[in-house]
Amino acid sequence: MPKYTATNITDEVDIRVTDRNAKFEPTTLCKMFQATAAKYASQPALHYKQNGEWASYTWQEYEAKAMAFAKALVSLGFDRFDTVSISGFNSTEWFAAYMGCIMAGGAATGVYTTNGPQACQYVCNNSLARVVVCDGVKQLEKFMSIADQLPSLKALVVYNAQLPADVECCVPIYDFDAFLGLGSDISTATIQERIDIQRPGNCASLIYTSGTTGNPKGVMLSHDNLTYTLRAVTSGFQGDLFNNTERIISFLPLSHIAGQILDIGIQIYYGLHIYFAEPDALKGSLGKTMKEVHPTFFLAVPRVFEKISEKMVEVGRGSKGLKKAIATWARRVGGQKVVMSQYHESGGKPCGYDFAKALVFNKVRDALGLDKCKAFYSGAAPLSPEVTAFFASLDIPIYEAMGLSETTGISFFNYPHKWKQSCLGHFLTGTDVKIDPTNSELLIRGRHVMMGYINNEEGTAAALDEDGFLHTGDCASLDSDGFAFMTGRLKELIITAGGENVPPVLIENVIKEELPLLGNVMIIGDKRKFLSAIFTFRVTVDEHGEPTDKLDAEAKYILAQLDSSASTVAEAMADPKIKTYLDAGLKRANARATSHAQNIQKYIFVARDFSVPGGEMTPTLKIKRNVVADKYAAEIDAMYGH
410-447 pLDDT tens trace = 999 999 889 888 888 999 989 999 999 988 899 999 99
Residue 316: which pLDDT band, with cuts at 50, 70 and 90? low
Residue 319: which pLDDT band, with cuts at 50, 70 and 90? low
239 or 635, which is more confident: 635
Q: Where are the domains of the chain?
A: 29-198+256-275, 281-489, 494-639
Residue 212: which pLDDT band, with cuts at 50, 70 and 90? low
**281-489 and 494-639 agree in CATH topology:** no
Q: What is the reported pLDDT for 66?
A: 99
Q: Which of 332-341, 400-409, 543-552 has the lowest mean pLDDT?
A: 332-341
**φ, ψ for residue 461, nearest 5 deg:** -65, -35
Quick one: average pLDDT of 222-246?
Answer: 92
Confirm if 92 and 57 have CB atoms less than 8 A apart. yes
Q: What is the reported pLDDT for 501?
A: 73
632 or 320, which is more confident: 632
Which SS3 state, helix, strand or coil, does residue 635 take? Answer: helix
Residues in the chain: 642
Q: Does residue 251 surpass a pLDDT of 60?
A: yes
Cα-trace Rg, the chain: 25
- Mean pLDDT of the chain, nearest integer: 90
User: Which candidate, 211, 111, 122, 117, places its Cα nearest to that of 626?
Assistant: 211
Q: Does residue 188 surpass a pLDDT of 90?
A: yes
Residue 318: which pLDDT band, with cuts at 50, 70 and 90? low
* CA 133 to the chain's CA centroid: 21
pTM over 0.95: no
Which amino acid, one-letter code, is at 384?
S
Could you tell me which CATH number the domain at 494-639 has? Answer: 3.30.300.30
Q: Does residue 330 surpass a pLDDT of 80?
A: no
Could you tell me which CATH number the domain at 29-198+256-275 has? Answer: 3.40.50.12780
Q: Does residue 320 surpass a pLDDT of 90?
A: no
Residue 334: which pLDDT band, with cuts at 50, 70 and 90? confident
Q: Does residue 498 surpass a pLDDT of 90?
A: no
Q: What is the reported pLDDT for 211?
A: 56
Q: What is the DSSP letter of 473?
A: E
User: Which candidate, 225, 213, 237, places its Cα nearest to that of 419?
Assistant: 237
Residue 210: which pLDDT band, with cuts at 50, 70 and 90? low
User: Which candidate, 141, 61, 129, 126, places its Cα nearest to that of 101?
Assistant: 129
Confirm if 113 and 88 have CB atoms less than 8 A apart. yes
Q: Does residue 537 surpass a pLDDT of 90?
A: yes
110-138 pLDDT tens trace = 999 988 899 899 999 999 999 999 999 99
100-117 pLDDT tens trace = 999 999 999 999 998 889
pLDDT > 70: what percent of the chain? 98
Residue 73: which pLDDT band, with cuts at 50, 70 and 90? very high
Say whether domain 281-489 belongs to CATH 3.40.50.12780. Answer: yes
Quick one: average pLDDT of 522-545?
Answer: 89
Confirm if 480 and 492 have CB atoms less than 8 A apart. no
448-479 pLDDT tens trace = 999 999 999 999 999 999 999 999 988 889 99
Confirm if 226 and 98 have CB atoms less than 8 A apart. no
Quick one: average pLDDT of 162-186?
Answer: 92
Distance CA 536, CA 605 (A): 6
Confirm if 200 and 28 have CB atoms less than 8 A apart. yes
Distance CA 213, CA 215 (A): 7
Cα–Cα distances (Å) from 221 to 195, 200, 203, 574, in that order, read 17, 10, 6, 51
Neighbours of 542 (CB within 10 A): 11
Quick one: average pLDDT of 527-540?
Answer: 91
Q: What is the reported pLDDT for 213?
A: 56
Q: What is the reported pLDDT for 308?
A: 85
Residue 274: which pLDDT band, with cuts at 50, 70 and 90? very high
